[in-house]
Structure 1
Amino acid sequence: MDSSKCPPSLIILSNHIEHYRFMELIYGVDFTSAPRQGKTIVCAEAWREADILYIKKFYRFTTLPSFIDFMERSPTCLAGVDFPLGQPRKLIENLQWGNTWAEYVERIGQMTKQEFVGVLDRYRQNRPNGDREHLRHTDRLVGAISPMKVYGVPVGKMFFEGAPRMLKAGFNIIPCHPTDDLRTVIEVYPALVARFLIGRQSYKSDSKAKQDSVMQSARQKIIELWRLPIFQDKYGFVIDINQHLADECDRDPSGDTIDAVLAAIQAAWALQQPNYGIPATCDRLEGWICNAL
């Protein structure tokens, strides 16, 4: 599907029309720094009514501009994105990049990707082992990798491609950069939901050589469990998803599709918490992974 030509994101079922008009759309976003055919940005669209989170459709974007344009054209929404919205305070202070999130993100946004990677490469040189890629406080709490990492799982490149674009678009970025915009963005970590449901069992891989029936069985188990009372006890709702969309989650061995749903689950959970579940003492320079505690 050509995502730049996506229809408006409101999907209204006749028996939900009056309720839906007053609901905030929830997006769960599985992000990539280099979207393309075969490796898209996947956005799950959902809304919550009472104790049910309805997963209504998936959008897939092959370019970064088409994804940001989609977000800018969306109505009031809460988007949970699965990439680091901030960098470690220690890095920002050592490089003297500014005193606020907006300052250093704007500065990074003026670099090319190669320049950004080069800065981090030089920064790591001659630093002792264990002090080359810093962690944010929130990364330590959830067991996430450093947002400085640009090789292997390149979450640093995701930050580079995502955060400056969202700053420029003026989105309400919590807790880093609150604005009056109707599009609110929070950072989520789909692995937290997966761990609750199936532990640390592997359910996805971008490597075709590693994709097997065991991983598919794990995805099927996730889909089964998010409909059960044990899930509702944890998150306050169960998932309503039609068979076609569930099959997309099941049959995507990269896990991008199911991760978009897991991101939407975290966003929906955050929406019912005071301040999205983010502690008042969190470091706004670094940001916060919702559901980190």
Structure 2
Amino acid sequence: MGVDFSSAPTCSKPITVAQGRLQGQVLRLEAMLSFNCLADFGDFLAQPGEWLGGFDFPFGLPRELVQTLAWPQSWPALIAHYTALSRAEIREQFAGFCAARPVGAKFAHRACDGPAGSSPSMKWVNPPVAFMLHAGVPLLLRAGVDLPGLQAGDPSRVALEAYPGLLAREVLGRRSYKSDAKTKQTPERLIARKDLIEALEQGRTRLGLRLKLSHAQRDGLVDDASGDRLDSVLCLLQAAWGQGRPSYGLPALIDPLEGWIVSA
């Protein structure tokens, strides 16, 4: 499954889950689910089952940041410390860290940010991925899932960090394909979504997988101008790429504080 996550889901901006099945090099989209609150999504993750998931939120923080703030140096203790903070406290500490650094190097980065082109996981605005980590990782821990490279759990339910922008940029370059703002849901972005979906269906990415959609599913992905459904499918493809690979395609050595983005 692939998960487009929100740290504050609502009816108009839910957590979106794409479920699919891999047969050879063909990934068939089977279902789309949505969750309007974190508790319901947490209950879904905790259900017995067998799945491999790609989740669009960071699982770790930059080592440089953690060391500078003198936070715990093991991932379980770090996450316990981090999630015990309020969002206001996180914002204050991260803003203080940035204020002490030179222009152009305000944020600390994880090793995976370069190859993935992802935002630093300490960023609290546009997008607020620091708060997504704060909300999402505790749900995974409470569900007892396996987090390769970070913490062992139920081997039948495996969670990988994914990033849809990595796969989208491979096809579209810097063309934008989504916006939550109605005024920015332009014909150009509609065309970009169509181009991206066509490339995924034809298998024209380095993942080597072909996405299988029904006509209704394709229309649903095209018509969702927010891109949430499409982002969940991109995460689904990244998770499927890791299936059957040693360590799910993750590097042999991963910083155990930072984690890694699958397929980066």
Q: TM-score over 0.5 for the alignment?
A: yes
Q: Can you list the C-alpha shifts for 1:175-196, whole angstroms capped at 9, x where unaligned?
A: 2212244211101111122122
Counterpart in the other structure of 1:262: 234
The answer to whether 1:61 aligns with 2:35 is yes
- Contact 2:45–2:140 (8 Å) recurs in 1: no
CA contact 1:216–1:253 (8 Å) conserved in 2 = yes
- Cα distance, 1:247 vs. partner? 1.3
Q: What residue in structure 2 maps to residue 237 of structure 1?
A: 209
Q: Give how far 1:207 is off.
A: 1.6
Matched, 1:286 2:258: yes
Deviation at 1:259, TM superposition (A): 0.6
Task: State the distance in 1 between where 2:134 and 2:39 align.
Answer: 14
Tell me the equivalent position of 1:156.
130
Residue deviations 1:209-244 (CA, integer Å, cap 9, x gap): 11111101111111222121534xx32331111122
Contact 1:106/1:167, CA 8 A, preserved across alignment: no
Residues 28-69 of structure 1 deviation map (CA, whole Å, 9 limit, x = unaligned): 000111100111110000111122111011101111111111
Counterpart residue number, 1:209: 183
Paired with 1:200 and 1:193, the residues of 2 have a C-alpha distance of 12
How far apart in 2 are the matches of 1:235 and 1:212?
A: 29
The answer for unaligned runs of 5 or more in structure 1 is 1-26
Distance 1:35 1:180 in 2: 26
The structural deviation recorded for 1:80 is 0.2
Q: Residue 67 of structure 2 aligns to a residue in which SS? A: helix
> Could you tell me whether the CA contact under 8 Å between 2:29 and 2:211 is conserved in 1?
yes
Q: 2: distance between equivalents of 1:281 and 1:166?
A: 22
* 1:31-46 to 2 correspondences below 5 Å: 31-46=5-20
The 5 Å alignment of 1:109-258 reads 109-231=83-205, 234-258=206-230
Q: How far, CA to CA, are the matches of 1:283 and 1:74 in structure 2?
A: 29
Q: How many residues are treated as equivalent by the alignment?
A: 264
Aligned partners of 1:28 and 1:45 also within 8 Å:
yes
Q: Secondary structure at the match of 1:254?
A: coil
Q: Distance in 2 between matches of 1:123 and 1:249?
A: 39
| Corresponding residue SS for 1:46 | strand
Matched-pair identity in % = 35
Q: Residue 74 of structure 1: CA displacement?
A: 4.7
Question: Structure 2 CA distance, aligned partners of 1:85 and 1:285?
Answer: 9
When structure 1 is superposed on structure 2, of 176-185 and 97-106 the one drifting more is 176-185
Q: Secondary structure at the match of 1:99?
A: coil
Q: Distance in 1 between matches of 2:225 and 2:200?
A: 19
Partner Cα distance (1:88, 1:218) in 2: 32
- Name the aligned partner's letter for residue 119 of structure 1: Q
CA positional deviation for 1:172:
0.7
CA separation of 1:139/1:229 partners in 2, compared to 1, >3 Å: closer, same or farther? closer
| Alignment partners' CA distance in 1, 2:134 and 2:147 | 15
Q: Distance in 1 between matches of 2:204 and 2:99?
A: 47
Higher deviation after alignment, 143-152 or 220-229 = 220-229
Q: Secondary structure at the match of 1:150?
A: coil
TM-score of the superposed pair, with normalisation by structure 2? 0.95
Select between 110-119 and 96-105 the one with higher mean Cα deviation: 110-119
Pair 251,74 (structure 1): closer, same or farther in 2 beyond 3 Å: farther
